[in-house]
Structure 1
Amino acid sequence: MTRTWPTVSRRAVLGAAAFLLAGCTQEGEKATTSARPSVSPPDAAPRPPSATVSGATERHGRLVELERRFGARLGVYAVDTGTGVTVAHRADERFPFCSAFKGLAAAAVLNSTPMARLNQRIRFTRADVEPNLRNSVKTRERVATGMTLGELCDAAIRFSDGTAGNLLVRQLGGPAALTAYLRTLDDTVTLAERTEPALWRDWTPGDQRDTTSARAIGTDYHRIVAGDALPGDARAYLRDLLERADETPSSRNRIRAAVPPGWIVANKTGTGGNYGPANDIAVVWRPKPAEPLIISVMSHRTGRDAEPDNTLVTEAAKYALDRIT
């Protein structure tokens, strides 16, 4: 079958004190656990003198207020990659990445697979779908026929199909292979160990498995969507999928809801079970010629039975966007 590659779209786009202990470390790496927000330059480039920001605690008081209001812990990393102006609040603390891994898994597959091979059909069984049936909106309809690699990328990103995400990770060789790919992006933080539904269903505060930081995953998405981590055709293909990743309510009602009309958003959300994790990672382009923005918001809430809250993510994104533009 001949595949027609899509054209890149230009369509618009404290808590309880106990949670201060939830930021944890990986392999001896110390995570930031202080509640004091900070403003810092992006990893890739020093902040120019014109972007110097003072009064960091005062500037991020709004994020602290959101944590108190929603009974939540927020990790925020936002940067204008052109000017270097950055907002960082708990940006290096760990949060469960939930379905936000799917854009990274698709990037890893695209990095190792020629575009012509995206028509390769992948077979799977009902047993692959059953454990994650609720979140397998596309794969549950295709058990009999299988799906191509390209279709799995589409289902995982635009519809957040859990089985599709798992099959992409299987194609790589498992969660450890996804982690290994991220190390090639200079991400020493993100740690993939399980597949869905366990990675989002079974997380508890302090668990390092299947976690990342807002800074690490935001930087990853910038590198795969707007950087040179992928070949040009693969990067355009991935960006198009992420720009059209508005097929789920969470994707429509988080960072996309904070961005002005006419701006382009390429994003992937993640939503968990226990403690209500709600994440959104986006690369954003303004209508005027300018370098893209990174907006990475991660969160979870205080109570084990607390629900994810889209408004918490949107309000944090609005604040960050206002500070960096």
Structure 2
Amino acid sequence: MKFALSGRPLLAITMSAAVLAGCVSSAAVVPTPRTQTATPRPAVLPRPAGSVTVPIGQPVRSTMPRPAGPLDPGFRRPPAGLSERIHFLWRAFPGKTGIAVQRIDGEWALAERGGDLFPQQSVSKFWVALTALDAVDQGRLRLDQQVRIGPEDLTLFYQPLAARVRAQGSVTMTVRSLIETAITQSDNTANDSLLRTIGGPGAVRAYLSKKDLGAIRFGPGERLLQSGIAGMSWQQSYSVGRNFEAARSALSPATRRAAMDNYLANPIDGASPTAIASALARLARGTLLSPESTEYLLDVMSRTKSGPRRLKAGLPPGWKFLHKTGTGQNLGGMTAGYNDIGIATAPDGTRYAIVVMLGTTTSPIPARMALMQAVSSAVAEFHGR
């Protein structure tokens, strides 16, 4: 799904005390495996009366060159105040929310509900691309390998590729083109075709296990995942037009609610914000893929078109951001998964993995994007302190 807002990025979140009363208040600060020293747990802020406005402020820009490595004061521990800011943003937002921030070129990480499993939705396309490129590195796949896509391979929801397939009968694309289309356009047919080419969900799960990526699940593919969330069994006719939406609308509310509740209670594609942030850091450090494949995937992610008003919009000029978004189905005004994960690079080259996952939320889309912008803006604001 794509959304656009006019004007400058939202740099504050305002919510009533009635909304705050329904929020989860547990928090955790998670050290990376490279350090045994945990950042102190931020104090729980008192709930103010009336409304709450969270100011973000302007990023601090140092005019002095930053020391490299352990001499950098921000290398071993988060900047003073960042944990408290992230905690306040997390606590103020309604619904199940997970946030993780990790300094890639450093030794610290912090998180709120960082170990919980959240629905990934299209964030899972990131693992398909990693698995494909690992196969390339191992010599089992070529980027120029041709893949045929016919009507029997079409999926549902966002799939611009489907129009070409229907117009031409079938199309042939390279593995490279499938990766590009799946990541930059979040095309479901391109992703499922790439998934089929690399050996299916089992191949992705094997890669996640081989690299010991932690609390990350991979689902059965877009068609089975989305039909299961809706309480249906997949039929290929659902890939045509709005047949899926029509069949879903014909279900009883009880059937849909039961299927959605089952998915949210134990998401088959669930992943923890901390595990995702760690994987992003490992990719950026070059420990998941070959140097060539690492550079290629980071470049592809820098051209992602979805979610321009999510995390990316909270960063000031001079920062770079590469990412992957994910958005789930809606039921009764509630969205099952509204996510953005990515790598932010400061003008001085310091890199941060940032993950925001909304497992269940009824907040309007502008408020969801405002939260994400506030998180990335906070990382930029406290950078260099």
Q: Identify the residue that residue 294 of structure 1 maps to in structure 2.
A: 353
CA apart distance, 1:220: 1.5
CA apart distance, 1:205: 2.0
Alpha-carbon spacing, 1:195–1:153, altered in 2? closer, same or farther (3 Å): same
Q: 1:39 and 2:62 equivalent?
A: no
Alpha-carbon spacing, 1:188–1:86, altered in 2? closer, same or farther (3 Å): closer
Contact 1:104 1:221 in 2 (8 A): no
> Which range moves more in the overlay, 140-149 or 187-196?
140-149
Q: 1:109 and 2:132 equivalent?
A: yes
Alpha-carbon spacing, 1:265–1:226, altered in 2? closer, same or farther (3 Å): farther
Contact 1:96 1:211 in 2 (8 A): yes
Contact 1:38 1:57 in 2 (8 A): no
Q: Take 1:262 and 1:53, find their aligned partners in 2: how far apart are those partners?
A: 20
Q: Take 1:161 and 1:285, find their aligned partners in 2: how far apart are those partners?
A: 26
Q: Identify the residue that residue 227 of structure 1 maps to in structure 2.
A: 286
Q: Identify the residue that residue 47 of structure 2 maps to in structure 1.
A: none
Alpha-carbon spacing, 1:118–1:222, altered in 2? closer, same or farther (3 Å): same
Matched ranges for 1:121-140 at <5 A: 121-129=146-154, 131-132=155-156, 134-140=157-163
TM-score with structure 1 setting the length:
0.78
Which of the pair has more CA radius of gyration? 2
- 3-state DSSP of counterpart to 2:341: strand
Q: Take 1:259 and 1:310, find their aligned partners in 2: how far apart are those partners?
A: 13
Letter in 2 for 1:93: D
- 3-state DSSP of counterpart to 2:171: coil
- 3-state DSSP of counterpart to 2:282: helix
Q: Identify the residue that residue 327 of structure 2 maps to in structure 1.
A: 271
Contact 2:34 2:107 in 1 (8 A): no
- 3-state DSSP of counterpart to 1:112: helix
Alpha-carbon spacing, 1:44–1:166, altered in 2? closer, same or farther (3 Å): farther
Alpha-carbon spacing, 1:97–1:167, altered in 2? closer, same or farther (3 Å): same
1:151 to 159, 177, 192: 177
Show CA shifts across 1:209-264 (max 9, x none).
Answer: 1010101112112222432211111111111100111x22x2x1111111121222
Letter in 1 for 2:329: G
- 3-state DSSP of counterpart to 1:262: coil
Q: Identify the residue that residue 89 of structure 1 maps to in structure 2.
A: 112
CA apart distance, 1:15: 7.2
2:344 to 251, 268, 284: 284
Alpha-carbon spacing, 1:149–1:284, altered in 2? closer, same or farther (3 Å): same
Q: Take 2:19 and 2:117, find their aligned partners in 1: how far apart are those partners?
A: 15
Q: 1:173 and 2:199 equivalent?
A: yes
Alpha-carbon spacing, 1:86–1:222, altered in 2? closer, same or farther (3 Å): closer
Q: Take 2:84 and 2:291, find their aligned partners in 1: how far apart are those partners?
A: 41
Q: Take 1:156 and 1:231, find their aligned partners in 2: how far apart are those partners?
A: 21
Alpha-carbon spacing, 1:158–1:302, altered in 2? closer, same or farther (3 Å): closer
Aligned length: 288
Q: Take 1:244 and 1:80, find their aligned partners in 2: how far apart are those partners?
A: 22
Q: Take 1:139 and 1:310, find their aligned partners in 2: how far apart are those partners?
A: 29
CA apart distance, 1:311: 2.5
Contact 1:266 1:282 in 2 (8 A): yes
Alpha-carbon spacing, 1:216–1:119, altered in 2? closer, same or farther (3 Å): same
Letter in 2 for 1:261: P
Alpha-carbon spacing, 1:259–1:146, altered in 2? closer, same or farther (3 Å): same
1:317 to 376, 379, 383: 376
Contact 1:193 1:210 in 2 (8 A): yes
Show CA shifts across 1:94-134 (max 9, x none).
Answer: 101111111221111011125882111101211221x31x3
Aligned CA RMSD, in angstroms, stands at 3.0
Q: 1:258 and 2:314 equivalent?
A: yes
Letter in 2 for 1:278: Y
Gaps of at least 5 residues in structure 2 are: 1-17, 38-69, 230-259
Q: Take 2:383 and 2:101, find their aligned partners in 1: how far apart are those partners?
A: 7
Matched ranges for 1:167-246 at <5 A: 167-199=193-225, 202=229, 204-245=263-304
Matched ranges for 1:15-54 at <5 A: 35-46=25-36, 51=77
Q: Take 2:163 and 2:124, find their aligned partners in 1: how far apart are those partners?
A: 20
Q: Determine what percentage of the aligned residue pairs are the same residue.
A: 27
Contact 2:30 2:114 in 1 (8 A): no
